[in-house]
Structures are given as C-alpha cells and as structure tokens.
Amino acid sequence: MNTLYFGDNLRILRESIESGSIDLIYLDPPFKSGRNYNILFQPEEGGIKGATAQIQTFEDTWNWGEEAENTYIELLQGTITREPPNQKLLELMKSMRSYLGECSMMAYLSMMAPRLLELRRVLKETGSIYLHCDSTASHYLKLLMDAIFGIGCFRNEIIWHYGQRLMHTKYKFNAKHDIIFFYSKSEYTVIKNEIIDPWTREEIADTRKRKIYTDEDGREFIWDNRSVSKGYPPKKQYIEDIIKAGKAIDDVWDIPMILSTSKERLGYPTQKPEALLERIIKASSDAGDTILDPFCGCGTTVAVAQKLGRKWIGIDVTYLAIDVISKRLEYSGLSEEKDYEIHGIPKDTYSAMKLAKEDPFQFQIWCTSKLNATPSQRKTGDEGVDGIINFVDHSKKNKAGKGIIQVKGSLHVGPAEIRDLKGTLESQGADFALFISFRKPTQGMINEAVKTGYYIPDQSTRKIQKIQILTVDDLFKDPIPFKHPPILLSPYKKSSIKKKDSHQLETGL
C-alpha cells in the first residue's frame, strides 16, 4: 500500500524498504544552504487579521561534531548501511575529508553518502534516480553519485530554469536554475516514455529553414528534401502532423516556479511545481510502478505519483511535513488506511510518550495538528504557547479569535501549571486555552480551570470554558472531547487545498 513514513530516512530505508523494490527515486534533500526554512500558515478565510503565522520547518545548517564524526566512521566501517560502500566511495570520502577538513560541507556529505548508498540498494536494476540540488554542493554530490552508481550510469545533468524575478546585480549574474542529476542503476536502463514538447508554426519554419506552403486543400506543409539525394522527389510534411508529433526535449527545462498566488502553493518553503515532477515521473516510470521520495517535504512527488497512477512511498523527518501531506491527500479525496498508511506517528499513548521523550518539539506539533491548530513558531522561548487555534469571532465583528494550546510531556503536572496557564491566557490576550498532558487532571487542576470562567463567542447562551484540560488519550478519540467556537480556520491555504465541510472536532454546540 502507498505509505508515508515519519522518521529518519536512513533508518527507514535500512529497516523498512526492501532491496530492488523501487522503480524511480526523486529526492530533493537539503541543499546545504546554511538557511532555516519556515512554512507559512495562512488561514483558509482570507482577510482575517492576526491569523497568519510561520513555523520553522527544517534547518539546512550543518556542523562537524560528534554525530558527523560517528556517521563518517560508521560509513568507512560499513556498519551504517545494509550494503557496505565500494572502494571508490571509501577513497572519495577520505580524500574529501583531507581536502575539506572537518567543516560543514564535510558534515553534509557524510549525511548524504550513506543515504545515497541505501537508495541505490532499494532501486530496481531497471530503475532511475533524480537528485535535485543547486550549485552550493552539486559538484560534490556529482562525485558521490559517480562513486556510488558508477560513471557509466550517469544520464544527464538537467537544468531546471525558472527565471522569474530577475534583478540587476553588481557582483554576479542572477542565479535562476537548479540542477537535477539523472542516474540509472544499470547502464542499460532506458527512459521508459518519451517526453515531447509541442512545436509552434514559427519554430518549424525557423528551425527547419523551410518556407511554409499551402496545398489545394488549404493544409500547410513544408517540403522534405531528404529523399532527393537518393533520386526521389521531395515529400510533403504537413505542419499539423509535425506539431502533433512534437519535438524531443533537451536537458534544459523551462518550467516556472510556483508563484505566491498559485492555487498549487501550500506555503511550504521548498515546494517544487507539479509540472516538474510530472515530467520526471512520466519519463522514468509506468503506471503501477513504485516511486520513492525520501525527503518528501510537502508531498508534491506523492501527489503527482497518485495522480499518474503510480504507487508511492514518502519519508520525512518532521511531523509537520507528514501532517501537510496527509491533509493534502485527505482533501483530494483519499483516506488513511483505505488509500495509504502512515508509519512512525503515534497510534496510542505509549507511542506518543516515546515521541515526547525522543523529540519533544515534534510531539508538540503532533498534538497541535490533531486539533487542526497552528504550531508554535519556535522550539524554545514560545512563552508557554505551543499552538494557536484561529477562528472567526462573530462577537468581534468577524475578526480573528484566538485559542492557545499548551502541551506538557511530563507526568508531573498539577494545579500550579493551570494557574500558570491562566497567566499566559491573559498575557496573550487569548479567548480560551487548552492544556494537554499525559496525566488525568486532578480535582485541584479541575477547580483551577473552572475558576477562570467561560468565554461566550457569539453573545449567546453557549459557553466555552476558558481553560479546558485534555489528556493525550483524548487525542485518539473521535470526536476529540474539546469544545470550541463553531468556525475554525484551517492552517492551510484555501486556494491550494479544498477543505471538507465536516470537521473531526466536536463543536460543543
């Protein structure tokens, strides 16, 4: 079944993906840009002030330290991957460390090398791989790919030229392209489906340097003189047939990037256009083939593979990405368990506790996503707010209302935490707050929550307790026993994802 995996792709590739099971791999890994990337959460109903936020999606910054050193050593020892590295890769890694030293680039390459090894292992002998990068590390990645896949399996260095927003620069020309390395696992692997672009009438006349004529039926044609050298008269080539046949594409792809106003845009910082993935998937796979994206981000590869009738596997190390993809699939009409599976996310309280221990920030994101809320913008210094629920407050002339979420991964909670949350509720100017922990609330916690009073969202008799307490167990219930204002704003753009009318949460009306 189609599958999303939440977790480190090296571990998942090693433990969960069988050798020779994948037809096509597309990967868009971090570019070693030295930047941090944020996803933009824009409310579904535009024009509501105060309901837009950002959260850091991933850090594309690398440092040589204990983790990089251990990865490098394990790679040389052959213990980090299921198949040991070949001698060419070992010599290359040693040489690059000698040349680069213990720097951020070497840390990045030490991260990429074992993953590329595992990707080669899972690829079928007839399979292809497309590695998306830019000029920051492309020259080093090309060496890695040559060492792992073999120079003879190199097919193309594809230039994705997007060219928007050109500016006058003093020190360099505008950088308006990315690089995609196309390799095959076998030297005999072929492109499965020819990709063509349509000719225009003007291109035919210019490229073939032929005058266009019109016959007695009104059909335009050019004379094909290739048969003249063999003693035969020239033949007519009709323009409509030439246009229909199309022209073979080259390795420079002019495909626009996604504009900020595009219906396709999800707000994900490194989102690639569907047209780019369509070209790759159509060229190097057939219907029913399995596509793998080990850095799947917002899921463009997954979405296009689904649309084109391919099977797919997506992996990402952030729960935020998994949540974006699952909602993207859900809003396109697919459903989890029926159409796809998600592995690695909490399925019960025990696995939620494990996630809270291993990665508290990802645990917070998981909790807030269960409530369709916007996660906190920062891992630390969030002022006691781990998530925000945006809604339309009819009592305030349809301005944005605000609910805050506080998540506690510890079992040691009591009335003091509720009193602290009351202070946060007031300082944030929020309308209500939600407290989530593993422990069932004590009577003292319940009493403190009741003391905060009620919020009345629409000047009616409907009351919402200003501080509500949920356990992690409650997050697995359907519906989640949480009372909130009747209209919640989705943290995803309406223009890109069509929201269903129903909502998983209980309105409490």
pLDDT band at 202 (very low <50, low <70, confident <90, very high): confident
Between 104-118, 250-264, 382-396, the lowest mean confidence (pLDDT) is in 382-396
pLDDT in tens, 421-434: 999 999 999 999 99
What average pLDDT does this structure show over 57-61? 54
SS3 content of the chain, % helix, strand, coil (to 5): 35, 25, 45
> Which residue did the predictor score with more confidence, 211 or 307?
307
Q: Mean of the pLDDT values across residues 370-374?
A: 87
- Estimate to the nearest angstrom the gap between the alpha carbon of 139 and the chain centroid: 24
Percent of the chain with pLDDT over 90: 56
State residue 61 phi and psi, 5-degree precision: -120, 140
Are residues 394 and 325 located together in one domain of the fold?
no
> Which residue is associated with the tokens 């990089």?
68
Average pLDDT over residues 194-203: 81
DSSP 488: B
Question: What is the pLDDT at residue 55?
Answer: 44
The reply to whether 440 falls in a domain is: yes
User: Which pLDDT score, from 0 to 100, does residue 375 have?
Assistant: 84
Report angle CA 376, 379, 383 to the nearest 5 degrees.
60
- pLDDT computed for residue 507 by the predictor: 30
To the nearest 10 degrees (0 to 180), the angle between helices 66-77 and 104-122 is 40
Note whether residue 360 is domain-resident: yes
What's the mean pLDDT in 325-337? Answer: 89
User: Residues 442-497: pLDDT tens digits?
Assistant: 999 999 999 999 988 765 557 889 999 999 999 999 899 988 876 666 555 433 33
Q: Say yes or no: 283 and 317 in one domain.
A: yes
320 & 449 share domain: no
- Compute the Cα dihedral for 506, 57, 354, 434 and give only its sign: negative
- Within this chain, do residues 129 and 267 fall inside the same structural domain, yes or no? yes
pLDDT for residue 503: 32
Residues 202 and 225 in one domain: yes
Residue 458 half-sphere exposure, CB side, CA atoms within 13 Å? Answer: 10
Domain count within the chain: 3
Q: 72 lies in a domain?
A: no
Q: Domain for residue 389, yes or no?
A: yes
**Tokens 């990665």 belong to residue:** 359
**What range does the domain containing 235 cover?**
196-247
Q: Which helix (H) or strand (E) holds 399?
A: strand 399-408
Which pLDDT score, from 0 to 100, does residue 241 have?
86
> Which distant-in-sequence residues (6+ apart) come within 8 Å of 172 by Cβ?
none
Last residue of a domain, one of 316, 343, 370: 343
Mean pLDDT along residues 200-216: 76
pLDDT of residue 380: 54
Domain shared by 132 and 35, yes or no:
yes
Among residues 311, 343, 375, which one ends one of the domains?
A: 343
419 and 329 in a common domain: no
Per-residue confidence at 100, pLDDT binned at 50, 70, 90?
very high
> Has residue 170 got a pLDDT over 80?
yes
Is residue 6 one of the residues assigned to a domain? yes
**What's the predicted TM-score (pTM) here?**
0.84
Taking the C-alpha atoms of 323, 328, 329 and 334 in order, what is their torsion angle to the nearest 10 degrees?
110
- Are residues 232 and 256 part of one domain? no
DSSP 274-291: HHHHHHHHHHH--TT-EE
Both 10 and 141 in one domain: the answer is yes
Report the C-alpha gap between 68 and 349 in whole angstroms. Answer: 33
Q: Is the pLDDT of residue 272 over 80?
A: yes
- Chain mean pLDDT for the chain: 85
Q: In this structure, are 169 and 312 located in the same domain?
A: yes
For the stretch 333-352, what's the b/e string if a residue is b when 16 or more beta carbons lie within 10 angstroms of its beta carbon?
A: eeeeeeebebebbbeeeeeb
- Would 165 be classed as within a structural domain? yes
In-domain check, residue 90: no
In a domain, 45, yes or no: yes
Instruction: Residue 449: give its domain's CATH number.
Output: 3.40.1350.10
Instruction: Please give the Cα distance from 193 to 408 (Å, whole number).
Output: 52
Among 247, 263, 282, the domain-final residue is 247
| CA 292, 293, 296, 301 torsion-angle sign | negative
CATH number of domain containing 49: 3.40.50.150
Same domain, yes or no: 399 and 292: no
Q: What was the pLDDT predicted at 261?
A: 74
Residues 23-47 have a mean pLDDT of 63
- Is-contact 265 271, C-beta < 8 A? yes
Predicted confidence band at 148 (pLDDT cuts at 50, 70, 90)?
very high
| Same domain? 265 vs 185 | yes
pLDDT: is 230 or 74 the higher one?
Answer: 74
